[in-house]
Amino acid sequence: MRRFVLALCSLVVAVSVSAAAPKIDIKHVEPLSWWVGMTTDLQIMVNGSNISLCDVQILPENQGVSVKALHKAESPNYLFVDVAIADDAKAGDYTLRFTNGKRKYDYKYTIAERREGSRERLSFTNADFVYLIMPDRFANGNAENDSTDDTAEDADRSKAWRRHGGDLQGMIDHLDYIADLGATAIWSTPLLLDNENGASYHGYSCSDYYLIDPRFGTNEMFKTYVEECHKRDLKVIMDIVPNHSSTSHWWYGDLPFSDWVHQWDEYTQSNWTFSTNMDFNASKSDLYQMESGWFDKSMADMNLDNKFLLNYFKQWAVWWVEYSNLDGFRVDTYPYNEKHPMSEWCKAVMAEYPNFNIVGEVWTSSIPQLAYWQGGNYNKDGFNSNLKSIMDFPLHDALRSAMCESGNGGWGQGMTRVYDVVSHDFVYHDLDNMMIMAANHDTDRIGDVCEGDVRRMKIVHTLLLTMRGMPQMLYGDELMFRSTDRSKGHPTLRVDFPGGWAEDSMNLFDASQHTGDQKEIFDYTRHLANWRKSKEVIHSGKTLHFIDRDNTYAFFRYNDTDVVFVYINNSNDAHEVPWSRYSEITDKLGEGRDVISGDMVDMKAVKVEPMSTLVVEFKL
C-alpha cells in the first residue's frame, strides 16, 4: 500500500553513491516530525532495508539538535535514534544523514515551533457533554473517497458490515447541528487507517498509527476538523487503541523485535478476565492470558513491556495532541494492556500536558474493580494507574435495566438499581471524572432498550444530563434512533444518520424535519443540554438522594448558591412528590423554576405523571 506522508516530513535524494555498501532505502520514519520545547524525549524509529548498518548524524550542527544514541533492533531493518533537543534549539528543517560506508542518504525532518500555550491546554471536564460519533455512519461529505486504490475494502452501503462512506468532511459539515444540540465535546471512534479486508469501518484495528484512513480524509483534514470544532467551542477527544493493532499494519512482515507483539504457538485469545489485575487469588497464567491473549485473529496484542514499543506509543500520543491540537483521549480496552506500562504511558502524556484528560474504557459492572483503574485510587496492592477518568459501566447497566422495569418497583428493581449504584460513590476516588452513558457504539441502542417509548427516553436523558460526572451520548440517541435488525449485532445498531448521504430522502440534521416522537425527544434533550452548559451546580455540585421502593427516584444537586431537584417517576402510576420528606434540604428552599417549562413551581403540591420527569432549580 502506498504510504501517505506529511509534506513537513519528506524524503530527500541520496547525496552520494557507492557500490561498496548496500543501497540505503528508508521506508518509514516515526514520529513524522517534532517540536522544540517538549518535555517528552524524542526517539525516532527508522525502518528500511539494513538501516541498522548506518551511522546517523543531524545537520546542520550547532543548532541545538543532535544524535544522542543509536539502538539496533533484532531486525536489521530498524534503527532507533535518540535525539537531543536543547532548550534553546532552533525550530526548522533538519537533515537526518544516514551513512553506510561511502553511501549517504539525507532525510528531511522538521522540528517545528510549538503552538503557544500548548502545554497548558485545557481538556474535557464534568462541565462537558460528550457526543459520540461513528464516522463511517455519520455523514458522507466526500463521495470520491468512499473507496480508494490504497485500501483493501470498498464501500457498499447496502451491506451492514461494509463501509458506508461517512468521513471527516461529513463530520465538519454537521458540527453546527452538534453544537446546537448542546454538546460541548466530540468523541469519534478511531479515524486512523484500518486496512482489514472486511468490517474495517469501525477503525479499532489500526494499520498505521500516523495516518488518517484515506476513506475518512487526510491528516491535514483532521487538523481542519479540530479547528472547525474549536470555532464552535467543541472539544475533540481522540479514540486510541494501544492494546492491539491490525495484522495488516506495515510492520507485521518484519517486526522490530520478536516480542513487539505477544507471540503464541497457536492463536490464543484473551480470557477477558481483567479482574486478574487486582485479584490476590488469581493465577499468573490467567493474568498472562488476559494481558497477552489476542483480541481477535486480526488484532495482534501489543507488548507494552517492550520499552521501545512503550516509548513509541508515548511519542505517538503526544505527536497527535501537538500536531492536531487535541483536547483529550479515550483509550479503548484499557485493562487489557499491561497495567504498569500503561500507568507510565498516562503519566508521560500528563507530564507533557498537565491539564489534559484521558478516559479509559473499563467495561465492568463491578464498582470496586472499576474504581481500581482511576488514578489516585487507594489500592491494596499500591498500584496507581495515573488514568484520570473512567467510564461508569455500573451506572450504565443499572439505568438500562431500570428502563425495562416500568412497574411499581420493589427491592432491587427499577429506579432502586440507579439509587444502589450511586450509593456506592464512596468507593470512587474522583467522581468529577466519571464518564456516564446509557449507550455507546458497542451496546444496544438505548432507543431499542426503551422500546421506542419517548417517555423512557426522556428519563434516560434527564438522568444523564443532571447526575454527577460527564455525560456521553451516542449519535442519534437525541432522536431515539433504533437498530435496523438487533439480531445481527453491532453493524445494525451503528445506523447511518438520515441526511448524511446525498441520496437520503430525509434529513434529520435539519430540525425542521423532525416530527412526532423524534421532535419531542430532540427538543427536550436540546433544551436540557443547553441549560446544563452554565449550571456549575450540575457540573460539580454534591448529590443528596432519597430511597423509595415505588420505582421513583429523587435527588438533589446542590452547592452554596444553587439547588436542582430531580424527580424520576419510572412507574405506571402518578405520584405526588413527597416534598416534606426531603425537609433536611427543602426547608431552606422557596419557590422553584421548572427547567423544562420555565414556570414557577410550589413544590408542596406537585404530582408527576407515570413515566415522567421533573427538574426544578432553586436559588439559595
Return the active site residues: 332, 361
pLDDT at position 226: 98
Q: Is residue 147 part of a domain?
A: no
The reported pLDDT for the residue numbered 452 is: 97
Give the model confidence (pLDDT) of 420-450 as tens digits.
999 999 999 999 999 999 999 999 999 999 9
Is the pLDDT at 14 greater than 50? The verdict is no
Q: Look up the domain containing 611 and give its range.
A: 540-619
Per-residue pLDDT tens digits for 541-576 = 999 999 998 999 999 999 999 999 999 999 999 999
**Per-residue pLDDT, 102:** 86
pLDDT of 84 reads 98
**Averaged pLDDT of the chain:** 95
Residue 283 falls within a domain, yes or no? no
pLDDT at 1: 38
Residue 568 counted as domain residue: yes
φ/ψ of 179, rounded to 5, equals -65, -40
d(CA 480, CA 400): 14
**Residue 496 lies inside a defined structural domain of this protein:** no
The CA distances from residue 459 to 134, 462, 483, 540, 568, in Å, are 24, 5, 20, 21, 7
Q: Quick one: 120 exposed, middle or buried, by C-beta within 10 A (0-12, 13-18, 19+)?
A: exposed
Cell triple for 108: 528531511
Residue 3: CB atoms within 10 Å: 12
Question: Is the confidence at residue 8, as pLDDT, over 80?
Answer: no
The residue among 153, 160, 109 whose CA lies nearest residue 134 is 160
Instruction: Select from 112, 131, 160 the last residue of a domain.
Output: 112
- pLDDT in the model for residue 15: 44
DSSP-based three-state secondary structure for 344: helix
Q: What is the pLDDT of residues 60-78, one digit of tens each?
A: 999 999 999 999 999 999 9
pLDDT at 303 over 60: yes
Give the position of cell 492463536: 267
Answer yes or no: are the C-beta atoms of 500 and 509 closer than 8 Å: yes
The pLDDT-based confidence of 13 (bands split at 50, 70, 90) is very low
CA distance 315 to 40: 7
Q: What is the mean pLDDT of residues 517-536?
A: 98
CATH number of the domain that 559 lies in?
Answer: 2.60.40.1180
CA gyration radius, the chain = 26
Q: Is residue 599 part of a domain?
A: yes
State yes or no: pLDDT of 114 exceeds 80.
Answer: yes
User: Which of these three, 91, 112, 133, is where a domain ends?
Assistant: 112
Cα-Cα-Cα-Cα torsion 68, 72, 78, 82, nearest 10 degrees, comes to -10
% of the chain residues with pLDDT over 90: 93
- pLDDT above 70 covers what percent of the chain? 97
- Tell me, yes or no, whether 592 lies in a domain: yes
More confident residue, 412 or 108: 108
pLDDT at 20: 60
DSSP 328: E
86 has pLDDT over 60:
yes
The mean per-residue pLDDT over the stretch 315-340 comes to 98
Answer for the pair 570, 551: CB distance below 8 angstroms, yes or no. Answer: yes
Domain closes at, from 79, 112, 145: 112
Is residue 106 assigned to a domain?
yes
Query: In the prediction, which pLDDT does 3 show?
Result: 38
Q: Report the number of distinct structural domains present in the chain.
A: 2
Mean pLDDT, residues 479-505 taken together:
94
Helix (H, G, I), strand (E, B) or coil at 147: coil
Q: Is residue 586 part of a domain?
A: yes
Alpha-carbon distance 325 to 40, whole Å?
16
Residue 486, pLDDT above cutoff 70: yes
Range from 18-27, 80-89, 204-213, 330-339 carrying the lowest mean pLDDT: 18-27
Q: Residue 81: which CATH number?
A: 2.60.40.10
The predicted model gives 367-394 an average pLDDT of: 98
pLDDT band (50, 70, 90) for residue 393: very high
State in Å, rounded, how far the first CA of the chain is from the last one: 64
